[in-house]
Amino acid sequence: MSEIRTVLSGKKPPHTVPVWDLEFHPWHKFTAKPYRVGVEFTKLTESEKEKAIRVNTEVMVEVAAALHFSAITVPNGYWEVSPGMPAYFWLPPEYRFRQIRLLRDALPKDILLFAVAGGIMGIPHSNEYIEFSYKLFDAPEEIDKKAAELIIKGRELVSKCREAGVDGVISAADLADNRGPFYSPEQMARFILPNLKEWVRFAKSLGCFAIMHSDGNMVPLLESIVECGLQALQAIDPVAGMDMADTQKRIRNRMALCGNVDCGLLVAGKPEQVYQASKKLLLECKGSGNLVFGASNAVQNEVPKENYEAMISAWKEFGLFHPPVSGK
């Protein structure tokens, strides 16, 4: 059984802390081959697109092995980081599912394949934030409808991703900001938690691991999130004051915790700073057996190659359970 499968199943891994990132963007920095997704991919001809996803597969298999990934996340569906501004890491639907199938055939069985397939309502985007916030109080039935539509779409996407060959699905829905939860306890109970429980139940019924990503200070929500049956929570956002060791104590091994290397540090820090932060995280938190090592959010294109290599270098030295580690 692979390390990450063991951790997500609630057992201690036999050898090492698994490595996985919510999204890994700089594939091209670790290979000489081209890697094409997003807007660049859409500009290709049909024959070029087919060639591109085959080369993407080669790149992801090669780099995943070189960086010791226990799992990888396939490119997302289309989404916008802000109105009119497409994200980087996405593929059109037909090519996204084709990419999943190619990867599942090419990857070793001990490297799991994950996909974002969420049907959970998070914090609204900036262009609808005010209107949405008013409706929470003035027209909650409209929020009920929106949440119901999302879970239907989420179930459909989970089914398609599982059929294509993924091992786990991710609900990427921010429920908090740096100050704490966006929704009140009553709103969580009405609009979020029932759908999250259903999404988890449905994913598990298909044999998928169910993982949630949320930025922000999630401490007040941890108990209710655990009770939904999730197998992992990703981010444990250090910018919002989330501490991995403290979060581990709070959840008491009831699910895996993924991330916590500050993605801002990965972008703007020095390799030695990344190494020391990664070392500290591993030494303080690996003993619980429920840690999945990675960045606190997506590993963006802007991350210098040497910074990510410093993170993996720390993992190589301090990610083992046995024998006891020593070093810098």
Instruction: State which amino acid sits at residue 268.
Output: A
pLDDT above 90 covers what percent of the chain?
92
pLDDT for residue 322? 59
In a domain, 131, yes or no: no
Model confidence at 15, pLDDT cuts 50, 70, 90, reads: confident
pLDDT at 321: 76
According to DSSP, residue 122 is labeled -
Residue 7 CA to residue 20 CA, distance in Å, equals: 12
- Quick one: average pLDDT of 200-228? 98
- Looking at the domain assignment, is residue 102 inside a domain? yes
pLDDT > 90? residue 13: no
Whether omega before 75 lies within 30 degrees of 0, making that bond cis, reads no
- What average pLDDT does range 133-159 have in this prediction? 97
Q: Is the pLDDT of residue 32 over 80?
A: yes
CA gap 304, 172 in Å, rounded:
25
209-213 and 232-235: which strand pairing?
A: parallel
Pairwise CA distance, residues 38 & 57, whole Å:
15
What CATH number is associated with residue 109?
A: 3.20.20
Res 325 pLDDT > 80: no
Rounded CA gap, 272 and 46, in Å? Answer: 44
Helix, coil or strand: residue 174? coil
Whole-number pLDDT of residue 88: 96
Flag whether 139 is in a domain. no
Domain membership of residue 327 (yes or no) is no
Range of the domain at 77: 3-114+210-318
| pLDDT at residue 25 tops 60 | yes
Residue 75 lies in a domain: yes
- Average pLDDT rounded to a whole number, residues 115-136: 95
Q: Which two tokens stand for residue 215?
A: 């930025």
Which of the four pLDDT bands, split at 50, 70 and 90, describes residue 328? very low
Whether the per-residue pLDDT at 324 is higher than 50: the answer is: no
Residue 258 counted as domain residue: yes
pLDDT at 110: 94
Which pLDDT score, from 0 to 100, does residue 326 have?
46
pLDDT recorded at residue 1:
62
Please tell me the distance from the alpha carbon of residue 75 to that of residue 63, in angstroms, as a whole number.
15
Check pLDDT > 90 for residue 14. Answer: no
Mean pLDDT of the chain: 95
Residue 191 domain-assigned (yes or no) = no
- pTM, rounded to two decimals: 0.95
- What's the pLDDT band for 2 if we cut at 50, 70, 90? confident
How many folded domains does the chain comprise? 1
**pLDDT one-digit tens code per residue, 54-106:** 999 999 999 999 999 999 999 999 999 888 899 999 999 999 999 999 999 99
Decide if 140 is inside a domain: no
Q: What is the largest CA-CA distance in the chain?
A: 59
What tokens appear for 262 in the block?
């500050």
